Structure 1
Amino acid sequence: MALSITNNVSSLNAQNNLTRANNSLAQSVERLSSGLKVNRGADGPAALVISEKQRAQIAGLKQAIDNADKAVSLVQTAEGALNEINSLLVKIRSLAIDSANAGVNDADAQAANQAEITNALDTINRIANNTQFGQKKLLDGSSGIKGISNDADTTVLKTSTATKAGNYAVAVTTAAQRATATAGTAQSGNLAADETLTVNGVSITLASGLSQAQVVSRINEFTTQTGVTADTASGATRLYTNQYGSAADLSVISNVAAGTTSSGFGTTLVTDTGVDVVGTIDGSSFNGVGNVLTATSGNANGLTVQFATSATPTTSVTGAQGTVTVTDNSLVFQIGANQNQTASIAINAVGPSGLGLGLAATGNQFSNLSQIDVTSAGKAQDAIGVIDAAIDDITNLRGDLGAFQQNTLNSTINNLQTTLENTVNAESTIRDTDFAEEIANFTKNQVLVQAGTSVLKNANQQPQLVLSLLQ
């Protein structure tokens, strides 16, 4: 072995190995102290890229779980308010049934029931307008799907969760018709004798000497029982049902032969049935019920509109009926860790004017819950129908909210928690320090540093051997 002083290769070799061992020891110390085996890009470029993406996903999953929990709280707030509205409707229904008991109740009792119902309706309206989560109103319709028509003859009754936002042209191709019967002979003089007119099974006595105007007025006194209104057309007495459509039936017969001094209907039974509306919404044709038309398919699915009466009281308007603009203000929840992973639910208005809609098409004298009146037995009967429809509206909405909470939010939370657990596990495998392995590396590197230091000391002493040759 050659001995030299200028270049101590053994020392350089020892220094190189000592530096490597020292760097490895420092890396082990860093991993043990930080708990991470990837602390910088140099520790594992591919691992760093994957783990950073997983960290972003983990943070997103945690926030999505928090978002879904908040959504559950919101839904429970709305459902709690709907439960109270449902209780009020049950109470209102009991009052209406009490008022329908005409054999017992007098006008004062029915008026007292009406006063209590009015108070309950005010409470329902207050709950609908004031229920909110934070600053967000929940039940006033601002969180639902709403339709507005630009035609005065078309009224949007309701939409459904299937109705898409957009503009929908509406037209009536077959006008709705009321059942109609016109006297075969126009009454031109006062009744010559007493007459009994039977309208829809209800006997109406007409006293001798009544003029045509008085006959019309007398028939209209029984409208709540017969569902029929009387007027004159082309000089003759005309009867027509308050209800539109194929469910509207009219029968009339008199016990006096037709003549100018009788009602003019005669002793032959006259019957008629109404016609349901047929129309188009967004270019698709649908068959309606009475004067109410509902889209059952397409983007407008669930959109229900009602058509006004034309200049002729026995038919609805016909032809083009403007455009209905539907806006979707559904509550949207970000319940996923990634873009566009959302869920939504619409909560339409539940105030009295938005409940029990559409029964007017079946002959009910009330168009919605806010109009109910129980000051007579006949009105109370119609009120019960509207109240039942309102209860259906509320319970169906509560069912939708319950299904959304259970099947969408709770299931999503469970899935997100499982995904979070697995993602954290994957990120841990890539990035976390394996302490058992790293302690072994630390011990090895620590020994190598100590050994290297000792060897370097000996290597630095080798040039001193040259002195022994110079003596």
Structure 2
Amino acid sequence: MGLTIANNVTSLNAQNNLTRANSRLTKSVERLSSGLKINRGADGPAALVISEKQRAQISGLKQAIENTEKAVSLVQTAEGALGEINSLLLKVRTLAIDSANTGINDEDALAANQSEINNALDTIDRIANNTQFLTKKLLDGSAGINGVPNDTDVTFLQATNDTSAGSYAVAISAAAEKATITNGTAQSSALAGAENLTINGVAISLNAGLTQSQVVDRINEFTSQTGVTAEDVAGNTRLSSANFGTNASISVVSDVAAAADSSGFGNSVSTDSGVDIAGTIDGVAASGSGNVLSATSGAAQGLKIQVGTDPSNATQTVSGAQGAVSVSVNSLTFQIGANANQTANIAIGRVNPSSLGVGVNGNQFGNLSEVDVTTGAGAQDALAVVDAAIDDITNLRGDLGAFQQNTLNATANNLRATLENTVNAESVIRDTDFAEEIANFTQQQVLVQAGTAVLGNANQLPQLVLSLLG
């Protein structure tokens, strides 16, 4: 190359290389100061795309872990309340066992036990209605599977995780009946003499001179002990059990022969038992106990309803078509994954006393709220209902425990492992390798310094022409 003045190509070459070295040095400084080797799309388009997708996953995984931890707190809140209900049920069971000891307990002791049971049931109801996480109620049924009948004679009692959402027609083919006994001879005048009635093993003394209405009132004074209610039906005295179904029974006998001036029940023992309800739910034969109908198969499996009393006959339920029950599934849904539809659900059923111990076969009590231990028979039946209620609560606690352990905790552990690996993968793509980058920084720094010195020398080359002119 010739020696020229107008164009200093050597200087331009030095400038070009110095600019490149300076650019690389600037990039190295940026990477060292930011800690990232991909700071903009130009640093690596494909790497940036992959990295940003991984960052989205990382943020989603972190939030999913937090969601899971919040879900654990909610489940523990519900489980803690259920634990307290369980303790109250154990107390109720103890009182029922004490009441069953009729050889020792008198009426006052039984009444005291019943009062304490009522208080415990009120507390259970309060816990069920008031337990909440933030503002979300957990045990009142709003977080579970609910049913709404469109007929006032039908009451929704319970549904399980086996019950599907939908509308289910209810039809009663045979009404439930209470145990009933009507005096064989109508009492048309005051009692001629003192009389003793024995109803379900309870002795009731009737003084001479009592009218029929007074006899009815006297019998009803012992309803809490006998489980029997008396009423005047067209001039006759009719006894009926408090509950429906085959386990409701009445036994009555008098020490006076039936006559118009006596109670009219006579001195021969009369007995009667109730009849269980029969019918279908969603067109499928259901199981009847008392006035409770339970679906045992099909889409409605687990659905339990209670049928109301016939307005024209207080001793039996309504019959025929009774509208439909609309079941809705309001399970709690937790977002426990980093992506759409990665959720887990659990239903927490209603645990009010009226929803516990429902439909125990052959029992005079339809649910926990009805238990009455003021009689020996009532105490025995109460035990069965309380045991069923304890099963309801412990099964729900087991479901919650399994959901927490096998779904939430296991998922959280998996999410943490996934987060660790995803962060590691994103780090490989995006983070600066300081050992490598410092070496590169040192190299570029030396090149810039050398390039600057060389450029200075290149700029001096045209001065060599002066030596030729001399």
Question: Considering the TM-score relative to the shorter chain, is it more than 0.5?
Answer: yes
Deviation at 1:26, TM superposition (A): 1.0
Structure 2: which amino acid aligns with 1:453?
T
Q: Does 1:42 align with 2:37?
A: no
Distance of aligned partners of 1:174 and 1:246 in 2 relative to their CA distance in 1, 3 Å threshold: farther
Partners of 2:230 and 2:107 in 1: how far apart? Answer: 27
User: 1:450 maps to which residue?
Assistant: 449
* Structure-to-structure mapping, 1:337-352, within 5 angstroms: 337-352=338-353
User: 2:380 maps to which residue?
Assistant: 381
Distance of aligned partners of 1:107 and 1:247 in 2 relative to their CA distance in 1, 3 Å threshold: closer
Structure 2: which amino acid aligns with 1:8?
N
Partners of 1:288 and 1:114 in 2: how far apart? Answer: 28
Q: Does 1:80 align with 2:80?
A: yes
Distance of aligned partners of 1:466 and 1:250 in 2 relative to their CA distance in 1, 3 Å threshold: same
Deviation at 1:92, TM superposition (A): 1.3
**3-state DSSP of counterpart to 1:146:** strand
Deviation at 1:433, TM superposition (A): 0.9
Does structure 2 retain, via aligned residues, the 8 Å contact 1:277–1:290?
Answer: no
* Structure-to-structure mapping, 1:13-24, within 5 angstroms: 13-24=13-24
User: 1:160 maps to which residue?
Assistant: 160
Partners of 1:390 and 1:383 in 2: how far apart? Answer: 10
Deviation at 1:408, TM superposition (A): 1.2
Partners of 2:325 and 2:168 in 1: how far apart? Answer: 6
**3-state DSSP of counterpart to 1:141:** coil
Distance of aligned partners of 1:418 and 1:327 in 2 relative to their CA distance in 1, 3 Å threshold: same
Question: RMSD over aligned Cα, in angstroms?
Answer: 4.5
Structure 2: which amino acid aligns with 1:73?
S
Partners of 1:241 and 1:125 in 2: how far apart? Answer: 26
Does structure 1 retain, via aligned residues, the 8 Å contact 2:171–2:280?
Answer: yes
Provide the TM-score with structure 1 as the length reference: 0.79
**3-state DSSP of counterpart to 1:302:** coil
**3-state DSSP of counterpart to 1:171:** strand
Q: Does 1:124 align with 2:124?
A: yes
Partners of 2:229 and 2:378 in 1: how far apart? Answer: 16
Q: Does 1:111 align with 2:111?
A: yes
Partners of 1:330 and 1:346 in 2: how far apart? Answer: 4
* Structure-to-structure mapping, 1:32-431, within 5 angstroms: 32-166=32-166, 168-172=167-171, 174-176=173-175, 277-281=278-282, 283-284=283-284, 286-289=286-289, 291-310=291-310, 316-359=317-360, 362-365=362-365, 367-431=366-430
* Structure-to-structure mapping, 1:432-451, within 5 angstroms: 432-451=431-450
Partners of 1:464 and 1:431 in 2: how far apart? Answer: 49
**3-state DSSP of counterpart to 2:358:** coil
List gaps (5 residues or longer) in structure 2.
189-198, 204-211, 253-263
Deviation at 1:437, TM superposition (A): 1.9
Partners of 2:248 and 2:373 in 1: how far apart? Answer: 24
Does structure 2 retain, via aligned residues, the 8 Å contact 1:37–1:431?
Answer: yes
User: 1:259 maps to which residue?
Assistant: none
Partners of 2:179 and 2:139 in 1: how far apart? Answer: 42
Partners of 2:272 and 2:75 in 1: how far apart? Answer: 52
Deviation at 1:422, TM superposition (A): 0.9
Deviates more, 1:8-17 or 1:318-327: 318-327
Deviation at 1:39, TM superposition (A): 0.7
User: 1:9 maps to which residue?
Assistant: 9
Does structure 2 retain, via aligned residues, the 8 Å contact 1:228–1:239?
Answer: yes
Partners of 2:250 and 2:114 in 1: how far apart? Answer: 31
Partners of 2:16 and 2:393 in 1: how far apart? Answer: 81
Q: Deviations over 1:164-185 (max 9, x none)?
A: 444x1323263255599999xx
Deviation at 1:263, TM superposition (A): 8.7
Distance of aligned partners of 1:379 and 1:286 in 2 relative to their CA distance in 1, 3 Å threshold: closer
User: 2:465 maps to which residue?
Assistant: 466
Deviation at 1:23, TM superposition (A): 0.6
Deviation at 1:285, TM superposition (A): 5.0
**3-state DSSP of counterpart to 1:293:** strand
Provide the TM-score with structure 2 as the length reference: 0.79
Deviation at 1:378, TM superposition (A): 2.2
Distance of aligned partners of 1:77 and 1:280 in 2 relative to their CA distance in 1, 3 Å threshold: closer
Deviation at 1:335, TM superposition (A): 1.7
Distance of aligned partners of 1:93 and 1:299 in 2 relative to their CA distance in 1, 3 Å threshold: same
Q: Deviations over 1:43-76 (max 9, x none)?
A: 1111112111211211121111112112111211
Partners of 2:278 and 2:393 in 1: how far apart? Answer: 28
Distance of aligned partners of 1:35 and 1:422 in 2 relative to their CA distance in 1, 3 Å threshold: same
Q: Deviations over 1:307-339 (max 9, x none)?
A: 335456776533321121233333322222222
Partners of 1:178 and 1:125 in 2: how far apart? Answer: 29
Deviation at 1:137, TM superposition (A): 2.4
**3-state DSSP of counterpart to 1:336:** coil
Aligned residues: 454
Structure 2: which amino acid aligns with 1:386?
V
Q: Deviations over 1:252-280 (max 9, x none)?
A: 9xxxxxxxxx999x99xx99995662313
Deviation at 1:90, TM superposition (A): 0.8
Q: Deviations over 1:8-41 (max 9, x none)?
A: 1111111111111111111111111211110111
Partners of 1:68 and 1:232 in 2: how far apart? Answer: 63
Q: Deviations over 1:392-443 (max 9, x none)?
A: 1211111111111111111111111011111101110110111222122222
Does structure 1 retain, via aligned residues, the 8 Å contact 2:15–2:455?
Answer: yes
Partners of 1:178 and 1:164 in 2: how far apart? Answer: 30
Does structure 1 retain, via aligned residues, the 8 Å contact 2:170–2:325?
Answer: no
Q: Deviations over 1:90-124 (max 9, x none)?
A: 11111111111111111111122122222222322
**3-state DSSP of counterpart to 2:155:** strand
User: 2:26 maps to which residue?
Assistant: 26
**3-state DSSP of counterpart to 1:362:** coil
Distance of aligned partners of 1:297 and 1:38 in 2 relative to their CA distance in 1, 3 Å threshold: farther
**3-state DSSP of counterpart to 2:302:** coil
Partners of 1:37 and 1:414 in 2: how far apart? Answer: 31
Distance of aligned partners of 1:165 and 1:403 in 2 relative to their CA distance in 1, 3 Å threshold: same
Partners of 1:37 and 1:44 in 2: how far apart? Answer: 9
Partners of 1:373 and 1:296 in 2: how far apart? Answer: 28
Distance of aligned partners of 1:271 and 1:131 in 2 relative to their CA distance in 1, 3 Å threshold: closer
Structure 1: which amino acid aligns with 2:430?
R
Structure 2: which amino acid aligns with 1:419?
T
Q: Deviations over 1:367-392 (max 9, x none)?
A: 32223222222222222222112211
Distance of aligned partners of 1:176 and 1:363 in 2 relative to their CA distance in 1, 3 Å threshold: farther
